[in-house]
Amino acid sequence: MAAAALVLAAGCSKKEAAEEVIGKPEVVVENGRFTPDVMWGLGKMGEFAVSPDGTRMVYANTYYSIEKNKGNAELYLMEAKPGAQPERLTTTAASEFNPVWQDDNTILFARGNDIVSFSLESRKEHVVLTVETGLEGFKLSPDGSRLLYISDLPVKRPESIDALYKGLDQTTGRINEDLMYRHWDSWVDEYPQIFLVSLAGGKADTSTIIPVLGNEPFECPMRPWGGVEQFNFSPDGSAIAYTCRKKTGKDYSLSTNSDIYLYTIATGKTVNVSEGIMGYDQNPVFSHDGTRLAWESMERDGYESDKLRLMVLDLATGEKTDYTADFDYGVSGISWSDDDKQILATVMYRGTNEIFAFGTADKSVRQVTRGCHDINSFSLCGSTIYAAEVSQQHPAEVFRYTLAGCNQQGEQLTSINNEVLSQVRMSKSEEHWIRTSDGKEMLVWLIYPYDYDSTKVYPALLFCEGGPQSMVSQFWSTRWNFEVMSGAGYFVIAPNRRGCPGFGTAWCEEISGDYGGLCMKDYMTATDYFASTMPQIDPERIGACGASFGAFSIYWLAGHNENHRFKAFLAHNGMFNFEQQCLETEEYWFTNWDLGGPYWEKNARTAKSYPNSPHLFVEKWNTPICVVHSEFDFRIVASQGMAAYNAAKLRGLEARYLYFPDETHWVLKPQNSLLWHRNFIDWFDKYLK
């Protein structure tokens, strides 16, 4: 594709009509209780970057307006030390994101379709590049001479189909002749690719724009999660390593086989350096000396939750080494130490996300951090680690660690929400290891109710995790927030049942093809354990809730609740009918792996999954249930929730249906989220209080 076709320009972007800037809201905390309104009044830490000299840090922080039903991110600058006061750098109605240090006194960032340069000396900014086709993120080459940025290209219709649209500029009809016409939460009308452009005199030279993938119609980065982490410059700036699954349509929908490609800028030559590895290969990172390339690698095609191995390629010899061959946990967020003697990565480890270091010479493994927290991302600057850290009691803040440390606690640097959280009486979260029905040990988090009094008795909620291969960790979220549940007066029982990563490969894989098996027994075991051992939990007032696989779990438990263990259910965007799900979803490798294949194949029909479809047990439903579903969830479409709700009503049960016509697999808009939370609390209060 010719560079001119992208319609790109360097210079100042068009000014839009003045719009009121969303700023820090006034938050009222009553009686120390954490409520959904308090939650949405908190700032949300975004991307952060440390200056080359390690003395300063810039970060994005988003505040939300319930009235405007949206948020706005601004950039803040602070010294990289505890107690430093941040300085606000931007004040605009358009959110800033993707901050990058060009040098110790210049920051690049994205705003709308612009890449902007901001001088810390003059406090002035100018537009480096405007990307008319949309900007999703960018990276700066090590020598500062080039940019790699993400923009979208339109999917081209076949000429025979395009001819049918002639003169019909107002039609809304869609014609498809292949699969993957929708993905996760959007119609596939465009796809992302990376483009290379040279910088000169502080501006991008648009005459030099090169589409790195040429005319290939493939995603880079990969939808729906991929971003700037999926590509990197080599240290000398001569090459680019990128992630791509070079498939479209039906082939794409059936496979997770992505690869790492090495593109040489001078020649335009591209080589697949992970060929023969059949699962996801992603997020390549060069060693500082440029001799090796590391990435996250899955072994098996079609299994999205396979162990993420730490794969390292010697670029001279072509030899690949798996540094996690004897380590039973997956890695993500790879970073090389300055001397290339260690590779750091985050690891889901026994209920928390921690940083581990892998020795490149002796394949040693060392746990760098340890705490009741999740480290979501980190940046290594010399011998100092800067980490975005959350827990069930606090949203993301930046903490500091040392590279040489072991099992260390972090030192908090930012304090975005201290003013509000200092007024909140946060609940206690306890780690319990209990015996499962087959004699194994399972980690269950027990979150205590707000203002807990040991002389009182409280209702409880069983939290069923989604995924299904997703760890119940120390996460913080505006979607499922344990402090909100606690603030409403509930104990929360949150098991890491079979299928949760972070407890070894075998534990994680026991769920695939057996959704109604040990993982469901784990839920019942955890519920019964606390109902019988915690006198402060009323066994007659226990409900259960969950989303995605967690909502499937609710539908399944509803059909296996003969002893009325649970008195009320809430299911959000879950699978109700497996045969329906098999053909309604978009990434078919998912159901092929986890359900055993399409339902019309004999082996799949006689396996454990399809006979355990929740819709087959509706005649046993005997408990009030609230169903929530969203229209733009293309992974588990809205008809699944509607069918479950209709079944409950036809069975004569008390039931409620909350439907969002403008949300996805999650509820993201502030006002919709507040309705979701009000409904959640109202529903369980009605039956458990």
What is the per-residue pLDDT across 474-525, written as a single tens digit (0 to 9) for each? 999 999 999 999 999 999 999 999 999 999 999 999 999 999 999 999 999 9
Express each pLDDT in 420-459 by its tens digit. Answer: 999 999 999 999 999 999 999 999 999 999 999 999 999 9
Q: Is a pLDDT exceeding 50 seen at residue 336?
A: yes
**Model confidence band, residue 244 (pLDDT cutoffs 50, 70, 90):** very high
Q: Is a pLDDT exceeding 90 seen at residue 604?
A: no
Residue 18 has a pLDDT of 63
| Closest of 348, 396, 395, 367 to residue 59, by C-alpha | 396
Residue 556 has a pLDDT of 98
Spell out the CATH class of 427-688. Answer: alpha beta
Please name the helix (run of DSSP H) or strand (run of DSSP E) that holds residue 352, with its range, or none.
strand 352-359
Tokens of 48: 């952060």
Show which residues are catalytic: 548, 633, 665
CA distance 245 to 425: 47
Q: What is the mean pLDDT of residues 301-316?
A: 97
Tokens of 24: 């820090």
Q: Quick check: 129 and 11 in contact, CB under 8 A?
A: no
Tokens of 208: 């030099």
Express each pLDDT in 545-566 by its tens digit. Answer: 999 999 999 999 999 999 999 9
- Distance (Å) of CA 51 to CA 80, 174, 219, 270, 382: 9, 48, 31, 32, 11
CA distance 285 to 242: 9
Residue 602 has a pLDDT of 84
Residue 182 has a pLDDT of 96
Nearest-10 crossing angle of helices 518-533, 549-558: 70
User: CA-based Rg of the chain, rounded to a whole angstrom?
Assistant: 25
Q: What is the mean pLDDT of residues 178-200?
A: 97
pTM of the prediction?
0.95
Work out the percent of the chain whose per-residue pLDDT is above 90.
Answer: 96
CA distance 663 to 177: 27
Domain boundaries, the chain: 427-688
Residue 641 has a pLDDT of 98
Neighbours of 175 (CB within 10 A): 12
**Model confidence band, residue 15 (pLDDT cutoffs 50, 70, 90):** very low
Tokens of 105: 């006194």
Please name the helix (run of DSSP H) or strand (run of DSSP E) that holds residue 102, with its range, or none.
strand 96-103
Torsion angle (degrees, nearest 10) of CA 344, 349, 352, 357: -20
CA distance 626 to 648: 9
Q: Is 460 exposed, middle or buried (0-12, 13-18, 19+ CB in 10 A)?
A: buried
CA distance 498 to 507: 6
Q: What are phi and psi of 229, to 5 degrees?
A: -70, -10
CA distance 68 to 162: 39
Q: Is a pLDDT exceeding 60 seen at residue 10?
A: no
Q: What is the mean pLDDT of residues 659-668?
A: 97
Q: Is a pLDDT exceeding 70 seen at residue 75?
A: yes
